[in-house]
Amino acid sequence: MRLFSILLFLICTNAFSQLSKKHWIPPIHARDGQSTVLDHYIYLSTPEITPFQVSITTGNGTPINGSPFTISSGNPIKVLIGNSQPSVMFLNQNDVNIVKNNKGLILEANREFYATFKVRAENHAEILIGKGYQGIGTAFRLGSLPQSYDGTIRNFFSSFMATEDNTVVVLSDYDPNVEFVSPNGNITDDSQTFHLNKGESVTVSGYTNIPANLSGFVGALLTSDKPIAVNTGNAFAGMSTSQDGQDFTFDQIVPFEEIGNEYIVIKGNGSDNVEMPLIIATENNTDVFINGNPIPFTNLNAGEYVLIPTSMYQGLSSKNMHILSSRPIYVYQILGGSTYDATSGLNFIPPLSCYFQKKVDLIPSINTIGNTSYLSDIIALTYTGSTLTINGNPVSAVPQIVTGNPQWSTYKISGFTGNVVAESTGPLAVGMLGSSGAVGFAGYYSGFGSEPKDSNVAVCSDRNTDLFDLIEGNPDPGGTWTPPLASGTGVFNPNLDAPGTYVYNFTGLCEIVNVSVTVSVQQALNPGTSTNTEICKNAAPIDLFALLGPTAQTGGSWSPALASGGNIFDPAIDPAGTYTYSIISNDVCESVSATVGVTVNPLPITTLIGDFIVCDDTTDGDDTNGEFFFNLTTKTNEILNAQTGITVTYHTLQSDAENGSNAITGIQSGNRTIYVRLQNNLTGCYATTSFNLVVNPLPVVPATVTLKQCDDDQDAITSFNLTEANLLISTDPNLTFSYYEFQANALANTTPITTPTAYTSGNRTLWVRALNNSGCYSRVIPLNLVVSTTQIPQSFSKTLTSCDDYIDTADPENDGYAFFNLNDATQDIKNLFPAGQQPNLIVTYYENEADALAEENAISLTQPYRNITQNTQSVYVRVDSNISNDCEGLGAHLQLVVNPIPVFDLGSDFVLCLNPVSGSASQMIDATPAVPGNYSYSWTPVNPNVDSDGNQSAQFEVNQAGTYTVLVTNTDTLCDNVDMVNVTTSSPPAAVAITLETPLFSSGLSTIQVIATGGFGQYEYSIDGGVNWQAEPVFSGLANDSYIVWVRDIAGCGKTPSDTFFTVTYPNFFTPNGDGYNDTWKIANLPEDFKAKIYIFDRYGKLIKEISPYGKGWDGTFNGNMLPATDYWFKVEYTQGGSVKEFKSHFSLKR
């Protein structure tokens, strides 16, 4: 829980603690927080009328969800921080006693506000009010409840957060037996040192199961070399036993320099066990006086503490206690939200001050935490005789005068809910407390009085300043100034009032103020005069500072920053826009700024210009000199690319284009570069580019060419592939050709022959037009067509054969397709011509006549050819001269024949089952083809079955294991095929024997061993008639019965049974309890030829029962009476192999 408290805090401005522009709230550790901590919040409120934003981040600067938040006077806001431990504000044990950078909260705004942290649990609650800038310092004495009893959720904790980098914090001066929890076990060091950077925090804690941790941490010393913010207390603690209950008890505190030696504490609603102020000394030999008594209540040394009994509170309506000390002390108030001891809490109490604020605006949601409501009270301390109002209504409650300092009175008022504004005509501290059953909480919003001090201030020459606002401390307004200022008030006008010392005097209810303010004047900052400028994108960099004018002061900075890092604007790098030159405040004169608006005019847009390409012609009298007259202005529209307001000029040099000189509009030239200048007619901004002049030569061709083709039917007309003339005209691969029947069409490039690869004609002249890849064409040339007679006899035919072998799944055997080497026919065809002509002949093969005539799609001879017509196919042969390209012969003179291979099947691999005793067997395999014919057979191993000529037979009688391979050849076509079969041997066993591994009449179950003898196989075994089989010859866990074991060959060559055998064992206990399991004892399934009798005796040899092995067994009774649980003996008489035998042993009866 939390109750209000009051603190004097002296700073350099008229400000109040708790109401601050920045708050630091370190995290907390609850011993059993995972199961106790529930929802927790930050409440933000402010007296400022103008709305402003508050940012909330974790220690490392990460904004929480929803940050920033907007608040104003009368419009507080609630922010959910978490719903359990762990969260950013509640740490689990594995994060305790180590530096954390992402825990705790930092709240900041440009105006002052209250930061209230509230947490709720099922039976607990608490409130902590951030102390802001006044709460940070370098030396603290830590308070917590001095406890007498352990509890499973009780502890102490303290947490601190650094406000600057490289902060060293030392924790010391506590009981040496105190132990701190950590992720790696308890820490027992007498002191601890931590190194933190800005925003980092540490939470230390000890659990009350260690005796020294009950009260040994109270008064511990926390010091640092740079300012830190500190929380301290317990989560949880109680002043009575754990059965009486416990609650959150913590607060945020202030450093040594902000405490004092006079305090007033207002009693809460707790019992005498709880309501005890805790006093901690900061210096040796400190006397403590209570309620004006001149005799010290106690004397303390630094770090020592004392509890003041509840009985020392005085008064009726709102009991209070006056505490005075000879040296500065910390006062923590232990109090209760109700008479139930489980509502204990801890408040940090500030010293008394006449300079408290007179208004608290506002306390947010006084009676709620989240969505949970509580009963609440308001507690107030003000100067005696002042008028106190709540939410604008005067308080009617009777004040309680403070014994020991009657100038002060206290109030306790009930019945308020929601937001509360408290105001007094005198100094005021106001707080609240609430409870519900075992839940209690409280908080204070007193503000911290600051006694006025003489001060030196500087004011700016360009504005008036109210000196009252610059007084160090917070005196009341309404006083007088000496000497008086020209304004007649406290406003200093640097144009009318002289620098110097001005004294402020004021007499109030509680205070007399006489304070001086020494004023100096600083010259206002001058950033120069705002202006605008224009510049081309490719212009030289400019100095923006020079544009601000001669009065501009140096030392400022530009926003956005320039790429140069200084004042220089580079249009090629820096974007256009408004650049602000700012001179930062020197803490006296405000920051000032001026702007330079920079317009960066774009350059004309240049795109890739295509080359100006022409063909050489005769306009200059020579179509081979590589020159042409270019009209450059024909490129203007392409260069502008739809831009307007741009002038284009042409130049022979880049420097002329840059300078805009020596422009031309046309030029007689060969290949060269032309430079272009594009200039904006309005801004003068320009850009340059270039393009190439290209004069392409005409194709070089002969005066005439002749193309010959074979006549295919002796009619002097045949089909020509005109493209065969291309290489006769030129070997240039970049030329394309078109063909025409008339010269006029060729010259005009009209009506070309549309089927040049299949042009039917007799002897005649055509015309050819050659075009290179530059689009230049030659003079047209004549193409003479000549029809010649073939020299291959029509009766000539060459046949090639191939066996139809298996190639792959896409080309299986005997599908009518095979591969042929057509080169095997070439020499026979050449032999039809004279020997002297043969070396100059080229033989090509085609699948059809049209391709042969057009010399298209010739069959490749670099790899075997697969026929496209099943079984047989005709191939066209063409013979040409490699000298003149004349056709010498053409026709379907080559026949391809595909011969099938023998088709037969030796079958699948098989097992030859042998006689298990002799090991003999035989089986016939047959390689006879399915299609009758003449065949030979070659076996591996050699087939002993041969005919009279020694030829191996198609049938092979196999009588042993092995691989049998046969090559079958068609002796007419010489096509062959091969097959093979693998033969393995095996057999069942010759005999099966059984060995009993468990002797007759053993206890428990039986095990047997199966022995298979003879045979040539590998075996598996079954004892259930062949339902289940196993590889091992051992069967265990067999009950009394008769059995037959089967043994089979795993290769499938048969199985062999054993003789019938018996297993005999006895049970070693029974339980005659009527549950249906083991209710009787007997030896079951004895063979009938044993003729067995069973006798049961007690341990003394007395016969109890004779039973039949084929009956129900013994039920554990004698003459109808149940016998006791113990061991009993039995004897079995039986006949085996013609001999009478007996067996004795014992078993247990269990009940």
Q: Residue 545 and residue 553: Cα distance in Å, rounded? A: 9
pLDDT of residue 1: 36
pLDDT of residue 390: 95
pLDDT at res. 344: 85
DSSP letters of 73-84? TTB-EEEEEESS
**10 neighbors 256 (Cβ within 8 angstroms):** no
Q: Which CATH number characterizes residue 761's domain?
A: 2.60.40
Return the closest-CA partner of residue 9 out of 375, 322, 350: 350
For 812-858, what is each residue's pLDDT tens digit? 999 999 999 999 999 999 998 888 888 989 999 999 988 888 888 99
Each residue's pLDDT tens digit, 493-520? 999 999 999 999 988 878 888 999 999 9
Q: Is there a single domain that holds both residue 410 and residue 514?
A: no
Letter for the amino acid at 118?
A: K
- 376 inside domain: yes
pTM (predicted TM-score): 0.52
Q: What is the pLDDT of residues 955-1008, one digit of tens each?
A: 999 999 999 999 999 999 999 999 999 999 999 999 999 999 888 888 889 999
> pLDDT per residue over 252-308, tens digit each?
999 999 999 999 999 998 899 999 999 999 999 999 999 999 999 999 999 999 999
Q: Are residues 765 and 629 in the same domain?
A: no
E strand segments, 523-587: 531-536, 542-543, 557-559, 568-569, 577-583
Are both 858 and 964 inside the same structural domain? no
Residue 13 pLDDT > 50, yes or no? no
Hey, how many other C-beta atoms are within 10 angstroms of the C-beta on 138? 16
Q: Tell me: the pLDDT tens digits for 183-195?
A: 999 999 999 999 9
The answer to whether the beta carbons of residues 323 and 418 sit under 8 Å apart is: no
Cβ–Cβ < 8 Å for 814, 804: yes
Instruction: Return the amino acid letter for 833.
Output: F
Q: Which of 601, 623, 640 represents a domain boundary (last residue)?
A: 601
Report residue 78 as tokens: 């609630």
Any idea which residue has 């350059």 for tokens?
603
Domain C-terminal end among 648, 674, 696: 696
Let me know whether 232 and 335 are in one domain. Answer: yes
Q: Residue 289 is encoded by which pair of tokens? A: 């006086």
**Which pLDDT value is given to residue 775?**
85
Reference 1126, options 1143, 1102, 1146, 1150; nearest CA is 1150
Residues 291 and 371 in one domain: yes
Query: Which 3 state secondary structure label does DSSP give 644?
Result: coil
Contacts of residue 269, Cβ cutoff 8 Å, sequence gap at least 6: 335, 336, 337, 338, 339, 343, 377, 433, 435, 440
16 has a pLDDT exceeding 70:
no
Instruction: Give the ranges where 2-117 is alpha helix by DSSP (H).
Output: 33-36
Q: What pLDDT was estimated at residue 438?
A: 66
- Please count the structural domains in the chain: 9
Identify whether the C-beta of residue 202 lies closer than 8 Å to the C-beta of residue 160: yes
pLDDT band at 2 (very low <50, low <70, confident <90, very high): very low
Give the whole-angstrom CA distance, residue 876 versus residue 889: 10
329-344 confidence digits (pLDDT tens): 999 999 888 888 888 8
3-class DSSP state for residue 256? helix
Asked, for residue 608, whether it belongs to a domain, the answer is no
Report the chain's terminal Cα–Cα distance, integer Å. Answer: 64
Q: Is 635 helix (H, G, I), strand (E, B) or coil?
A: helix
Q: Give yes or no: residues 623 and 655 share one domain.
A: yes
Residue with the bigger pLDDT between 790 and 208: it is 208
Residue 836 domain boundaries? 798-899
Separation of alpha carbons 1133 and 1142, rounded Å: 4
Tokens 């043994």: give the residue: 1047
The answer to whether position 301 is within a domain reads: yes
Query: Are residues 354 and 438 both part of a single domain?
Result: yes
d(CA 357, CA 446): 7
Mean pLDDT of the chain: 91
Residue linked to tokens 């502008």:
640
Q: Are 210 and 68 found together in one domain?
A: yes
pLDDT in tens, 532-571: 999 999 999 999 999 999 999 999 999 999 999 999 999 9
Average pLDDT over residues 360-385: 92
Q: What is the pLDDT of residues 751-765, one digit of tens each?
A: 999 999 889 888 899
Same domain assignment for residues 942 and 1031: no
Kindly report, residue by residue over 195-250, the tens digit of the pLDDT.
999 999 999 999 999 999 999 999 999 999 999 999 999 999 999 998 888 999 99
What is the spatial distance between Cα 870 and Cα 818, in angstroms, rounded to a whole number? 9
Is 60 exceeded by the pLDDT of residue 14?
A: no
Last residue of a domain, one of 874, 899, 924: 899
User: Which helix (H) or strand (E) is 849 found in, with range?
Assistant: helix 849-854
Residue 966: inside a domain? yes
Indicate whether 197 and 56 sit together in one domain: yes
**Does residue 5 lie in a domain region?**
no
Ramachandran category for residue 836: left, alpha or beta (phi over 0 → left; psi -120 to 50 → alpha): alpha
CATH number for the domain spanning 1052: value is 2.60.40.1080
In this model, does residue 351 exceed pLDDT 60?
Answer: yes
Residue 160 placed within a domain: yes
Is residue 875 predicted with pLDDT exceeding 80?
yes
Answer yes or no: do 256 and 401 share one domain.
yes
In a domain, 255, yes or no: yes
Per-residue pLDDT tens over the stretch 145-184: 999 999 999 999 999 999 999 999 999 999 999 999 999 9
Give the pLDDT confidence score for residue 474 in this predicted structure: 77
630: in domain: yes
Band of the pLDDT at 448, cuts 50, 70, 90? Answer: low
Lowest mean pLDDT among 23-27, 633-637, 1138-1142: 1138-1142
Considering the domain architecture, whether residues 578 and 716 belong to the same structural domain is answered as no
Q: What's the whole-number mean pLDDT along residues 339-352?
A: 87
pLDDT band at 446 (very low <50, low <70, confident <90, very high): low
The predicted pLDDT at position 618 comes to 82
Single-letter residue type at 105: L
How far apart CA 225 and CA 739 sit, in angstroms, is: 101
Burial class (CB in 10 A: 0-12, 13-18, 19+), 616: buried
Under the banding of pLDDT at 50, 70 and 90, the label for residue 706 is confident
User: Is 10 or 795 the better-scoring residue by pLDDT?
Assistant: 795
CA distance 17 to 474: 11
What is residue 442's predicted lDDT score, i.e. its pLDDT?
Answer: 66
Residues 50-79: tens digit of each pLDDT: 999 999 999 999 999 999 999 999 999 999
User: Please, is 96 exposed, middle or buried when counting C-beta atoms within 10 Å of its C-beta (0-12, 13-18, 19+)?
Assistant: buried
